[in-house]
Amino acid sequence: MKKWLKSREMSALAAIIGLFAVLVVLNPGYFSLQTLAMIFNSAQILILLAMGATLVMLTRNIDVSVGSTVGLCAIACGVALNAGYSLPLAMLFALAVGGLAGFFNGVLVVWLRIPAIVATLGTLGLYRGGMLLWTGGKWIEGLPASLKSLSEPLILGLSPFGMLVIAILFLASWLLAKTAFGRDFYAVGDNLAAARQLGVAVNRTRFLAFTFNGLFAALAGILFASQIGFVPNQTGSGLEMKAIAACVLGGISLLGGTGTLIGAFFGAFFLTQIDTVLVLFKLPAWWNDFIAGLVLLAVLILDGRLRQALVRNQRAQKYSRFVAPVSQGKNVTPFTSKKKKEVA
């Protein structure tokens, strides 16, 4: 029970099921796999970004530049396609741009030792500006149908891109959970000095985290171009905060070393589900952010209090053998309750 309570993925999953139940109770017509597939389809971009953000957050960094990277890569893909290159080549080009953008973030953070939030704040503006300079502020239109067909449903309401997202999710989850390569990310974020002492390639791991984040953002950019069919010049702005919010909902700690990709997936899915449910209920769009904020804060407060209680409980158990059993509760609780423990 305690383990179940501790795992944030489960609480995010419970929230998803709960919201789905509310939807179904109010309108039984929506009880189908189609509804879920529809939500998943509109959540894919956020899921990709949340997975990338997870890698960075696991190493105790943060990347607020992904919104601009998405825009830059969507433009890169669109420009290459309109210049007459083939689809795979254009996608490779966009991925290369995204990877480079992520790598540059890594250079700033790892080699130049700039705090991650400051460095990526700078590149947030830089990449957006690069994108606007590239296109002269114009939209990119007239993308070929071959790109758009990649996000049309194929089997079970899933598009080729949807399957790719699921495949990446499982592959990356396995890598993170089971291989030494994946555990390095956790080690670096949990305790950098200890990880170095253990022989983890600390700098390489952080570089990889930022570069993979760039690649995920590039994939999200391609997906955006494919879903919408054109690329506006403000593509992706605001997505960086949403991706981080999804990660936080899914239980990935900003202090590094905790969280799973599945959690990020659930968090992103849930955030999108709120929007979709509001649309299905025909509530005006201005409710979206308000409710998303309320839910996010509610989860955070619940989780923060729960973890504080758990820590207090563990501490009480740890010290209980040093104090007389009678006065145990009285002696321990007032002392530990003063301790302020940062949890996320």
Residue ranges in contact with other proteins by CB under 8 A: 62, 108, 112-115, 117-119, 121-130, 132-133, 137, 233, 241, 244-245, 248, 254-255, 284, 286-294, 296-297, 300-301, 304-305, 308, 340-344
In the complex with other proteins, the residue whose CB is nearer, 22 or 301, is 301
Measured CA to CA, the distance from residue 192 to residue 197 in angstroms comes to 9
Nearer to other proteins, 49 or 91 (CB): 49
Shortest distance (Å) from residue 260 CB to other proteins: 18
288 versus 331: smaller Cβ distance to other proteins: 288
Residue 215 neighbours by CB distance under 10 Å: 24
What are 289's two structure tokens? 């952010």
Task: Please report how close the Cβ of residue 256 comes to other proteins at its closest, in angstroms.
Answer: 12
Closer residue to other proteins, CB minimum distance, 117 or 177: 117
Q: Would you state the structure tokens that stand for residue 287, as one six-digit string? A: 């409710």
| Cα dihedral across residues 49, 51, 52, 53: positive or negative | positive
- Of 321 and 340, the one with the shorter C-beta distance to other proteins is 340
Say if residues 218 and 68 touch (Cβ distance below 8 Å): no
User: What would the 3-class secondary structure string for 268-288 be?
Assistant: HHHHHHHHHHHHHCCCCHHHH
Rounded to a whole number of angstroms, the minimum distance from the CB of residue 287 to other proteins is 7
Query: Least separation, in Å, of the C-beta of 109 and other proteins?
Result: 10
Task: Work out how close the CB of 216 gets to other proteins at its nearest, in angstroms, rounded to a whole number.
Answer: 20
Q: Residue 138 or residue 204: which is nearer to other proteins going by CB?
A: 138
Structure tokens, 319 = 């010290």
- Least Å distance, CB 238 to other proteins, is 9
Taking the C-alpha atoms of residue 335 and residue 312, their distance in angstroms, rounded to an integer, is: 10
Which residues make Cβ contacts (< 8 Å) with residue 133, sequence separation at least 6? none
What is the separation of C-alpha 218 from the centre of its chain, rounded to a whole number of angstroms?
14
Helix, strand, coil distribution of the chain in percent, nearest 5: 75, 0, 20
As given in the structure block, the two tokens for residue 53 are 């953000």
CB closer to other proteins out of 113 and 321: 113
How far apart are CB 263 and other proteins at their closest, in Å? Answer: 14
| Distance, CA of 163 to CA of 154 (rounded, Å) | 10
Neighbours of 22 (CB within 10 A): 12
